[in-house]
């Protein structure tokens, strides 16, 4: 028992769990034909069948039942404000399975030349009254009932009265912003709090204009839009839902990381001594003083960021993303790649922090400008 818990505590550390998820991700949600072949070869597509669904849910439920016997785990999961996140986990996993099952069924039908299930249904017309109205009525009544039961069972939490001089430890943002709060650990507020939300919003709005694949409109399919679905799910599942889960369940006092079965010790010591790239570049590698000129001091960082956003898109257009570039054309490709690179900078910064204790690539605290 204890060994299993210790093991889970260790592998849930973001360094390990995040890496594992990223490595597995592209085999579970293959972005191109190559990965798709491996995905089929490894029979991962069986996840999106009835048997696969039962397996996924059994695992999830066994984990929660097993976990609830642990005092620390129980304390976090049953906190009233965390209940929606447990629900969210179940709902996201369910609907992920539900949509992909239909998508894979449809893919099979399309391969057989039959067209998607939805097309079959669409041949028949029904009247809103009563065929739609009764579904809406059932849905509304069940949600109203659910809310009533929920409200009776769990009181809305209320903490101590506001006190501007004492921050609770840990202080957490509303759960749907915990993804952003997790980003704040790795980035400066102007990036995590202003730039990223803006980019996320604009990125979402631009999806229909970037995705010029006309297939797969109005029915579930995976095979016809592998890349679009893979990229979307990467951001939605890994960089949003996963970060929210980490922030809710695994971030404890002093924003230290705690395994799901670990006691929230306020005095847990975690060495977090971080250095800036400029310090690393001049003081560690060259054994020199930091130059007093700010621009000179931060030149390595500027060059690196400039190359990342300026050169990398060009290189990628000729190599890895050649086909994508051909399909999208220069304008769509530029917008797409800039959004993608900004988003991917989050995991990159995470690894720089974990691997090299890098705090900032460009650090000009004199002007509040840090990257």
Residues 101-120 that bind other proteins (CB under 8 A): 102-103, 115-119
Given the complex with other proteins, which of 119 and 316 has the nearer CB atom? 119
Pairwise CA distance, residues 288 & 200, whole Å: 40
Given the complex with other proteins, which of 36 and 97 has the nearer CB atom? 97
Given the complex with other proteins, which of 93 and 304 has the nearer CB atom? 93
> Closest approach of Cβ 130 to other proteins, in Å?
7
b/e map of 204-229 (b: 16 or more CB within 10 Å)? Answer: eeeeeebbeeeebeebbbbbbbbebb
The helix/strand/coil state of 3 is helix
Long-range contacts for 89-96 (Cβ within 8 Å, ≥24 apart)? 89/60, 89/241, 89/245, 90/60, 92/237, 92/241, 93/56, 93/57, 93/60, 94/57, 96/233, 96/237
Residue in 113, 161, 330, 355 binding other proteins, rule: CB under 8 A: 161
Pairwise CA distance, residues 337 & 82, whole Å: 36
Given the complex with other proteins, which of 57 and 66 has the nearer CB atom? 57
Nearest to 215, CA basis, from 103, 329, 335:
103
> Closest approach of Cβ 8 to other proteins, in Å?
23
Given the complex with other proteins, which of 57 and 98 has the nearer CB atom? 98
Name residues contacting other proteins, limited to 118-147 (CB under 8 A): 118-119, 121-133, 135-136, 139-140, 143-144, 147
> Rule CB under 8 A: is residue 360 a binding residue for other proteins?
yes
> Closest approach of Cβ 146 to other proteins, in Å?
8
Residue in 11, 24, 87, 307 binding other proteins, rule: CB under 8 A: 87
Q: Are 59 and 51 in contact (CB under 8 A)?
A: no
Residue in 1, 3, 23, 163 binding other proteins, rule: CB under 8 A: 163
> Closest approach of Cβ 244 to other proteins, in Å?
10
Given the complex with other proteins, which of 216 and 313 has the nearer CB atom? 216
Pairwise CA distance, residues 76 & 240, whole Å: 20
48-56, 81-89, 277-285, 299-307 -> range binding other proteins (CB under 8 A): 81-89
Pairwise CA distance, residues 25 & 332, whole Å: 25
Q: What are phi and psi of 113, to 5 degrees?
A: 80, 20
Name residues contacting other proteins, limited to 16-45 (CB under 8 A): none
Name residues contacting other proteins, limited to 319-348 (CB under 8 A): none
Name residues contacting other proteins, limited to 200-229 (CB under 8 A): 201, 204-205, 207-209, 211, 214-221, 225, 229
The C-alpha R_g of the chain, in whole angstroms, comes to: 24
293 burial type by CB count under 10 A (0-12 exposed, 13-18 middle, 19+ buried): exposed
């Amino acid at each position: 028992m204890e060994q299993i818990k210790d093991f889970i505590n260790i592998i849930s550390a973001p360094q390990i769990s995040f890496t594992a998820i990223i490595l597995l991700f592209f085999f579970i949600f293959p972005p191109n034909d190559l990965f798709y072949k491996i995905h089929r070869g490894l029979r991962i597509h069986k996840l999106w069948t009835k048997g696969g669904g039962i397996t996924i849910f059994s695992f999830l439920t066994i984990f929660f039942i097993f976990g609830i016997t642990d005092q620390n785990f129980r304390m976090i999961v049953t906190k009233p404000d965390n209940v929606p996140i447990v629900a969210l986990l179940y709902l996201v996993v369910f609907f992920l399975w539900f949509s992909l099952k239909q998508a894979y069924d449809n893919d099979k039908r399309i391969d057989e030349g039959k067209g998607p299930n939805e097309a079959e249904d669409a041949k028949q017309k029904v009247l809103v009254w009563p065929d739609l109205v009764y579904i809406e009525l059932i849905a509304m009544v069940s949600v109203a009932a659910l809310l009533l039961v929920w409200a009776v069972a769990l009181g809305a939490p209320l903490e101590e009265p506001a006190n501007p001089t004492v921050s609770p430890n840990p202080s957490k943002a509303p759960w749907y912003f915990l993804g952003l709060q997790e980003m704040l650990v790795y980035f400066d507020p102007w990036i995590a709090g202003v730039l990223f939300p803006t980019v996320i919003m604009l990125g979402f709005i631009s999806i229909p204009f970037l995705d010029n694949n006309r297939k797969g409109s109005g029915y579930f399919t995976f095979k016809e839009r592998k890349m679009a679905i893979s990229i979307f799910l990467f951001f939605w599942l890994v960089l949003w839902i996963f970060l929210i889960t980490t922030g809710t369940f695994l971030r404890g006092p002093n924003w230290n990381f705690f395994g799901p079965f670990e006691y929230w010790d306020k005095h847990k010591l975690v060495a977090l001594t971080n250095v800036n790239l400029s310090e690393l570049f001049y003081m560690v590698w060259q054994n020199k003083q930091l130059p007093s000129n700010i621009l000179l001091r931060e030149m390595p960082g500027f060059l690196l960021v400039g190359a990342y956003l300026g050169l990398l898109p060009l290189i990628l257009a000729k190599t890895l993303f050649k086909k994508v570039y051909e399909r999208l054309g220069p304008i769509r490709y530029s917008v797409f790649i800039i959004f993608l690179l900004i988003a991917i900078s989050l995991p990159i910064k995470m690894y720089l922090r974990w691997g090299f204790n890098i705090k900032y690539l460009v650090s000009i605290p004199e002007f509040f400008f840090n990257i």
